[in-house]
Amino acid sequence: MRIAESRVLPRFARVRPGGLAPIVAILVVLLVLLTLRQPDFLSPPSLMSFLGRSAPIVLLAAGQYFVIVSGEFDLSVGSLVTAQVVVAARLIDSEPSRSWPVVVVLLAFGALVGLVNGVVTTRLGVPSFITTLGMFLILVGAVYLWSDGAPKGGLSEEFRRFGRRAFEDVPALGRIPYALLILLAAAALAVLLSRSDFGRTLVAVGGNPRTAGLSGVRVWRAKTIAFVLSGVSAALAAILLGGYSGVSFQAGAGLEFGAITAVVLGGVALGGGRGSVVGAMLGALTLETLFALMNFYGVSGALKSTVQGAIILLAVAVSSVRSSSR
Amino acid sequence: MADPPPSPLLTLRGIGKSFLGVRVLDSVDLDVRPGEVHAVVGENGAGKSTLMKIASGVYAPDEGTIDFAGAVRSFRGPRDAQRAGIGMVHQEFNLLPERTVAENVYLGREPVRRGLVDRKAMLSRTAALLDSIGESSLPPQARVGQLGVARQQVVEIVKALATDARLLIMDEPTAALADNEVERLYALVRRLQERGMGVLYVSHRLKEVFDLSGRITVLKDGRLVTTVDTARTDADRLVRHMVGRELSSYYPARARPDEVGPVRLTVHDGGNRKLRGVDLRLRAGEVLGVGGLQGSGRSALARALFGAAPFATGDVRLDGAPVRLRSPRAAMRAGIAYITEDRKGEGIVAGQSVLDNALLASRALLPGAGRGARAARVRELLAAVDVRAAGEDQEIRYLSGGNQQKVVLAKWLALGPRILLFDEPTRGIDVGAKSAIHDLVRQLARDGAAVLMVSSELPELLGMSDRIIVMRDGRIAGELPAGAGEEDVVALAVGAAREAAT
């Protein structure tokens, strides 16, 4: 291949749709605004606890990234988180020794739900928007039915420590929530995966499924794996959320839209084929920062979903204007 | 033709432009006289569209001057150029399908009366404009989305007229038109010419250039090669200017008898929804051409062999052993590659990088296997097929058609295929890159691959193939040796040859 341009190009090329520069810029601006109002927000204890609290949505955004970049949607993760928390409470029933087995069960449950989403979408040809909306409703109904309308049992302290405990008295940083460590590990895995052959192939599937199929990619399989990853990320999020805020039917409410907003904010194209998992996770952090900012400035929490909706519309509009102006 | 020529409407002098340090235009001169159609030709990447964008105010030149209607201009954007009287009809239209013709023509400049859009004036003015160019059959209140491509183009042109354009820039105006519509466009362009309008006409199709233009400017690699009077040149000379070489050296030499090896692939009585009774032998080292009319089963044959639309009946053998090609993966495992005719739709992933595109098939078939070595090999292949790009991270959609096709080829070569199925390998590729692709196809055969090449371009089919089979109605209508003539192929394709008697 002939390099027809000078070496400076790759650096410029990073500022493009799907690049990280915009989301980093937005995050920095929000953090500055936040520290103006709340000077100690960036101090280690406050920052650590903020990151720990944000871990579930960041995990969900990472999972959602794989689905969206492959050209699909996963609307089922919010109710999946709720279902996981309720199921965990009933299975553990405050019995510490069941904590680890239940963690395994939840991960398997998440993977199974993702598998069903993926197979129904790719093999039965149901648009994923509908598939996962159906799964959302099925899970809501099933959880109510299974628990007779009120959560049963309870989570053990063993189980809850993932979401609420921390390494105490760490030099310089104070306390490091377990949730943050779990997040870092999962994020590292997600980044590795997104750069692997599978990750790159998945982007190709989202970008042009016909090309991918004719290049030997098993498109259905790649997409199904993406759904499974999203389901597993929902299981991890549920484990952290259950620990942090306890058992309720509201545990996962609205998280699917939070995750999708975060992913879109992070520069991942709805419809697939463009974006990075780091962008998606930064998008989630940005969203959480924005909510914290609204909180500190005394904006009503009721505006959260309005803000999310506006972000989705704005982000998609900006990206489609940019791509059509080429 | 009157002499002396009238003073030019538009004069570009010493235009230069660079993007990120790459020189795409270098001291180009060009002028357009009133009432003249001035054609601009050149290969993809020669700088035609950049030059048009500079003339229409989209880009500002780095060097040089733009002189329009007697004054030096520096346009601050396309609207600025429009106000000055330069209209542009893009390859892709900028029309609102849900609005009427009149609304589109006056979009953003609606005539206003007492603070409201004066619909009546808008309709009558549009009708007058349409009338003035002989398109009075087009109703101003028709919804644009319901019009055919040709009439949408008329709307685009009228849009330019409504701004009192004195110069119209047309970028590949016939790319989307059917043959009979092209004639109408000719008539329209001539009428614009009669009104004293200057037309800058960019096209790949030399026929149009000769039919319409008074003068032709040839660009190559961002430089002006020459500007000639159309009457004083011919297609051969023009192509020579464009590529810097003779047409006759166009096709690489065919395979010598000793270069053709054993039979690689045999099909006996193959059939599916689009194919019937296909019998075929493909040898190592040869290029087997597949001719026929559109829809005769040429592409269906290639897709059947690649497992994309498999044979439902019949028997396929690879090196003598029966093989089932049920899916592209199965075909790829058997050493078969398929270079599709629809490059954009199923050959590339437009938003991914050159490298990602080149790695796609290897990643799909052998994920994780020796990643470093594999990337190194693909980089070598990209260099070997001479892809020209800003870098391996550049998104493939920014490459010219020829370079995209080379990346697609590299993707397949990475798997070391022994059978290559080319479907219209040079469709949408400019002249210079075409012969590079032809050379690559021949080189692959010479290296021992068995090549099947579908082509609807007769010169290509005849120039490249060692043997030719011609398809008709899903069957192989007949086979021709190298050196057959165009008439032989056409006769078989339409069923005029001896087979019609049986």
* Identity of the amino acid at B183: E
Give pLDDT, residue B434: 85
CA angle B282, B299, A1 (to 5 degrees): 80
Any chain A CB within 8 A of the CB of B325? Answer: no
Distance from C-alpha of A119 to C-alpha of A227, rounded to nearest angstrom: 9
| Bridge partners, A170 (sequence order) | A174
CA A86 to chain CA centroid, Å, is 20
C-alpha dist (Å) from residue A188 to A193, A194, A238, B349 = 9, 10, 19, 27
Q: Which residues of A touch B44 (CB under 8 A)?
A: none
Mutate to test the interface with A, among B360, B388, B404 (most CBs of A within 10 A): B360
Residue A66: is its pLDDT beyond 90?
Answer: yes
Q: Is the pLDDT of residue A146 over 90?
A: no
- Scanning every residue of chain B, which has its alpha carbon at the shortest distance from the alpha carbon of A204? B349
Q: Phi/psi at B156 (nearest 5 deg)?
A: -60, -40
Question: Which residues on chain A are in Cβ contact (under 8 Å) with B411?
Answer: 215
Comparing C-alpha atoms, which of B85, B80, B82, B73 is closest to residue B15? Answer: B73
| Domain co-membership, B375 together with B387 | yes
Q: Does the beta carbon of B85 lie under 8 angstroms from any beta carbon of chain A?
A: no
Residue B282 maps to a domain = yes
pLDDT at B499: 44
A217 in contact with B, Cβ within 8 Å: yes
Contact (CB<8Å) B22/A215: no
pLDDT for the residue numbered A5: 41
What is the nearest CA distance from A2 to chain B, expressed in angstroms? Answer: 5
Out of B340, B357, B389, whose CB is closest to A214?
B340
* Residues B259, B208 within the same domain: no
pLDDT tens, position by position, A211-256: 999 999 999 999 999 999 999 999 999 999 998 888 888 888 889 9
Residues B312, B326 within the same domain: yes
The answer to whether B441 touches B281, Cβ cutoff 8 Å, is no
Residues B83 and B220 both lie in one domain: yes
Chain B from 381 to 400: CB within 8 A of any A CB:
382-383, 386-394
Smallest Cα distance from B107 to chain A, Å: 18
Instruction: Compute CA A133 distance to the chain's CA centroid, rounded to the nearest angstrom.
Output: 17
**Are B356 and A204 inside 8 Å of each other by CB?**
yes
CATH number of residue B135's parent domain? 3.40.50.300
Same domain, B208 and B347: no
Nearest chain B Cα distance for residue A262, angstroms: 21
> Is-contact A108 A232, C-beta < 8 A?
no
CA distance B128 to chain A (A): 32
Residue B89 contacts residue B162 (beta carbons within 8 Å): no
Q: Residue A171 CB: number of other CB atoms within 10 A?
A: 5
Residues of chain B with C-beta less than 8 angstroms from the C-beta of A212 = 349, 360, 364
- Position B390 scores a pLDDT of 87
Residue B15: predicted pLDDT: 93
Residues in a beta bridge with B199: B37, B168
Contact B202, B49 (CB under 8 A): yes
Q: Most B CBs within 10 Å: which of A2, A14, A215, A274, as the mutation test of the B interface?
A: A215
The helix/strand/coil state of B3 is: coil
Local structure of B281: helix, strand or coil: strand
Which of A18, A200, A216 faces B356 most closely, judged by CB atoms? A200
Q: Which residues of A touch B383 (CB under 8 A)?
A: 1-2
Name the residue range of residue B200's domain. 10-247
Q: In the predicted model, what is the mean pLDDT of residues A8-35?
A: 72
Contacts of B211 (CB under 8 A, 6+ apart): B186
Contact B397, B314 (CB under 8 A): no
Same domain, residue pair B227 and B253:
no
Is A14's Cβ below 8 Å from some Cβ in B? no
Judging contacts by C-beta atoms under 8 Å, the chain B residues touching residue A200 are 352, 356, 359, 363
Which of A57-61, A240-244, A294-298 is most confident? A57-61
Say how many CA atoms lie within 13 Å of B106 toward its Cβ. Answer: 21
- Quote the pLDDT of residue A263: 95
Tell whether B418 and B346 lie within a shared domain.
Answer: yes
The 3-state secondary structure of chain A reads: CEECCCCCHHHHHCCCCCCCHHHHHHHHHHHHHHHHHCHHHHCHHHHHHHHHHHHHHHHHHHHHHHHHHCCCCCCCHHHHHHHHHHHHHHHHCCCHHHHHHHHHHHHHHHHHHHHHHHHHHHHCCCCHHHHHHHHHHHHHHHHHHHCCCCCCCCCCHHHHHHHHCEEEEECCCEEEEHHHHHHHHHHHHHHHHHHCHHHHHHHHHHHCHHHHHHCCCCHHHHHHHHHHHHHHHHHHHHHHHHHHHCCCCCCCCCHHHHHHHHHHHCCCCCCCCCCCHHHHHHHHHHHHHHHHHHHHCCCCHHHHHHHHHHHHHHHHHHHHHHHHCC
Contact B368/A207, CB-based, under 8 Å?
A: no
pLDDT in the model for residue A11: 40
Closest of A272, A271, A222 to residue A119, by C-alpha: A222
Asked if B407 contacts B324 with a C-beta cutoff of 8 angstroms, the reply is no
Q: Establish if A203 touches chain B: CB-CB under 8 angstroms.
A: yes
CA B308/CA B421 separation, integer angstroms: 12
Q: How many CA atoms lie within 13 A of B226 on its CB side?
A: 13
Q: How far is B386 from chain A (nearest CA, A)?
A: 5
**Token pair listed for A25:** 């810029």
Q: What pLDDT, on a 0 to 100 scale, did the predictor assign at position A10?
A: 41
Give A-chain residues touching B347 at CB under 8 angstroms.
211, 214
Contact A6/B21, CB-based, under 8 Å? Answer: yes
A101 pLDDT more than 90? yes
Q: Which residue has the higher pLDDT, A164 or A204?
A: A204
Across A55-69, b (16+ Cβ under 10 Å) vs e yields bbbbbbbbbbbbbbb
Residue B5 is classified by DSSP as: P
More confident residue, A193 or B498: A193
| Chain B CA closest to residue A10 | B393
> Which residue is listed with tokens 């929530």?
A177
On whether both B133 and B217 belong to a single domain, the answer is yes
Q: For residue B22, how many other CB atoms are within 10 A of its CB?
A: 13
Check whether residue B107 and residue B214 sit in a common domain: yes
Residues B14, B25 share a domain:
yes
Statement: residue A167 has pLDDT above 70: yes
The span from the CA of A228 to the CA of A114, in Å, is 4
Residue B61 inside a domain? The answer is yes
Closest C-alpha to B420, from B443, B439, B445, B402: B445
Instruction: State whether A203 and B356 contact (CB < 8 Å).
Output: yes
A223–chain B Cβ distance below 8 A for any pair: no
φ and ψ of A8, to 5 deg: -70, -20
Q: Are residues B433 and B377 in the same domain?
A: yes
Let me know whether B63 and B95 are in one domain. yes
Is A250 an 8 Å CB contact of chain B?
A: no
B120 touches chain A (CB under 8 A): no
Q: Which of B184, B213, B247 is the last residue of a domain?
A: B247
Mutation target among B363, B377, B404 for the A interface, most CBs of A within 10 A? B363
Per-residue pLDDT of chain B (502 residues; tens, 9 = 90+): 445 667 889 999 999 988 766 778 989 999 999 999 999 987 666 788 889 999 999 889 999 999 998 888 888 888 889 888 998 887 777 888 888 999 988 888 888 888 888 888 889 999 988 888 888 888 899 898 888 878 888 888 888 888 888 999 998 887 667 777 788 888 889 988 888 899 999 886 778 888 899 999 998 878 888 899 998 888 778 877 776 644 444 788 888 888 899 999 999 999 999 999 999 999 999 999 999 887 889 999 999 999 999 999 999 999 999 999 999 999 999 999 999 999 989 999 999 999 999 999 999 998 877 778 889 999 999 998 889 888 899 999 988 888 999 999 999 999 999 999 999 998 878 777 888 899 999 999 999 999 999 998 888 898 999 999 999 889 999 999 988 877 788 778 877 654 433 3
- Looking at the DSSP assignment, which residues form a beta bridge with residue B218? B41, B226
Of the pLDDT bands very low, low, confident and very high (cuts 50, 70, 90), residue A184 is very high
Domain boundaries, chain A: 52-282
User: Do A196 and B351 count as a contact with CB atoms less than 8 A apart?
Assistant: no
> Searching chain A, which residue's CA lies closest to the CA of residue B341?
A211
Residue A261 CA to residue B430 CA, distance in Å, equals 43
* Residue B354 tokens, joined: 């050159």
CA A217 to chain B, closest CA, distance in angstroms equals: 5
Closest CA to B194 of B59, B406, B335, B36: B36
Which of the listed residues B193, B224, B247 is the one where a domain comes to its end? B247
Of B199, B226, B247, the residue that ends a domain is B247
Q: For residue B4, is it within any domain?
A: no
Q: How many domains does chain B have?
A: 2
Nearest CA in chain B to A217: B364
Residue at B306: amino acid letter = F
Give yes or no for B380 touching A (CB within 8 A). no
